[in-house]
Structure 1
Amino acid sequence: MKYIISMAALLAATATPAYAQDLSGFRAEVRGGWEQLGTTAHLPNPDYDPEDEESGPEILKATDKDGSISYGAEIGYDYQLEGGMVLGGYIGADFSDGRTCAELVGDDLGCSKLKRSFNIGARAGLPLSDKSMIYVKGGYSHGKISNFYDPDLTDNDEEEPGDTYGFSKNRGGFHAGGGVEFGLNQGVYGKLEYAYTKYGSASQRIGAGDEDPMLKMRSDRHQVLAGIGMRF
């Protein structure tokens, strides 16, 4: 986040000479790179006793992170103001195979897998030349995340294993980031970008009764991407 704040301050504080309107217009791009998916799971401690310090915390917490490949595409429109600053909007989609798993109570396992994320947002850029700029971006993200929980791994080889719980949740959230975009040829540009996305939490009751514990899972991700696009 310090990187994003620093770039935003630079955009606001730096005086920019007027450039030709080469950064205005519609654009389309493809990109790919590395991402780190992180998941934090919370579950009430079945052994918790407020009078017994050795029973552990009231809420159990486990975290896992996993790196994977991310790829996607984006379309948008930019408009360069007379003073040089560029303002724009975009929509995009990203896909990945990132998966995280963590143990909460012992011999259990909770996993999350990010399938895809749709993004819509706005960006502001500071030109470096008539074909290049640095920018910050931010907006809304909508991710499809598949979750799985097995309360007891030790019974999986038995004739009648215990219940497992699988649930896919579409989660809204936000993303923020920044990067540099540089002209390569007539209408063609390359880019390097960092983005952070935080998704909302998903909940699932572990059991059929109203008194059974509720499992909560939260996910976020960091992305470092390279892309190539075209302006129209």
Structure 2
Amino acid sequence: MKTAHLIAAVALVAGVAVPAQAQDAPSHTGPRAEVRFAYDFVGATLRTTINPQNRGTFAGDDASDEGTNIGGEVGYDVQAGPAVVGIYAGAEKGSTQVNAISRPYALKTGMNWTVGARAGVVSRDVLIYVKAGYSNGELRGLLLPTASPTFFSAYDSKRNGWHAGAGAEFPIAGGVYGKLEYVHHKYDTATVSTTEELRFSRNQLVAGVGYRF
């Protein structure tokens, strides 16, 4: 169902964008702001620091689950000929939950903050770009009803990391634009106990709608 929601959002953005082909070529210079809806694929790996090869707390080996998040991004771009460079900052709220098998705990995503730069080329009014920068993601521990109040029950960590991705941005009408994007986030390893550490990453498929001022 979550994947279906993303497909519907992508179809809506792409469908509205079709009339833009008949318009004058838009400029990609100036400030912009957008709302973003993402399919979020989150992975978590718990390792013991005594024996790093002994995994298996989550889903037998590496655990992952999918969810959605919604957020926004602001930025400023400069176009010179077909080339475009810019900076951006964003925030999003996630709700993906990764469950454990051998223990009655779960991990749930929270806020994610990003700052970065992008560069691309405009072809037939469509901006094709790559992006990269800093990420700060939240991962909270949830105590399930059958668990004793230990281990992840009080875990709440905001992890620094990085992200990289690529996307396409296309005009809709006036200063309104749509976009499709893929982003990978990788966060610093977190120490959750004296003998265990947690690795955390996510992959996102993003559909967005924005306005260039």
TM-score with structure 2 length normalisation?
A: 0.78
Deviations 1:37-87 (A, max 9, x none): 110011367xx8xxxxxxxx8633431111111111000000012x42000
TM-score with structure 1 length normalisation?
A: 0.72
**Bigger shift: 169-178 or 21-30?**
21-30
Task: Output the CA distance in 1 between the equivalents of 2:150 and 2:105.
Answer: 13
| Structure 2 counterparts to residues 137-152 of structure 1, below 5 A | 137-148=131-142
Corresponding position of 2:90 = 92
Task: Output the CA distance in 2 between the equivalents of 1:216 and 1:182.
Answer: 42
1:147–1:202: structure 2 CA closer, same or farther, 3 Å change rule?
farther
1:173 and 2:161 matched: yes
Deviations 1:67-125 (A, max 9, x none): 111111000000012x420000000011111111224xx4x244321101000000001
* Structure 2 spans left out of the alignment, 5+ residues: 1-23
Following TM superposition, by how much is the alpha carbon of 1:127 offset from its aligned partner in structure 2, in angstroms? Answer: 0.2
* Structure 1 spans left out of the alignment, 5+ residues: 1-18, 49-56, 206-212
1:197 and 2:185 matched: yes
Following TM superposition, by how much is the alpha carbon of 1:30 offset from its aligned partner in structure 2, in angstroms? Answer: 0.3
> Contact between 2:86 and 2:119, CA under 8 Å: does it hold in 1?
yes
Pick one of 110, 120, 123 that aligns with 2:118.
123
Corresponding position of 1:188 = 176
1:221 and 2:209 matched: no
Query: What is the identity percentage for the equivalent residue pairs of Structure 1 and Structure 2?
Result: 35
Task: Output the CA distance in 2 between the equivalents of 1:109 and 1:173.
Answer: 28
Structural RMSD (CA): 2.4
2:154 aligns to what SS in structure 1? strand
Task: Output the CA distance in 2 between the equivalents of 1:66 and 1:38.
Answer: 7
1:59 aligns to what SS in structure 2? coil
> Contact between 2:116 and 2:133, CA under 8 Å: does it hold in 1?
yes
Corresponding position of 1:3 = none
AA in 2 matched with 1:219: F
| Structure 2 counterparts to residues 9-48 of structure 1, below 5 A | 22-43=27-48
Task: Output the CA distance in 2 between the equivalents of 1:187 and 1:169.
Answer: 39
Following TM superposition, by how much is the alpha carbon of 1:162 offset from its aligned partner in structure 2, in angstroms? Answer: 6.5
1:203–1:22: structure 2 CA closer, same or farther, 3 Å change rule?
same
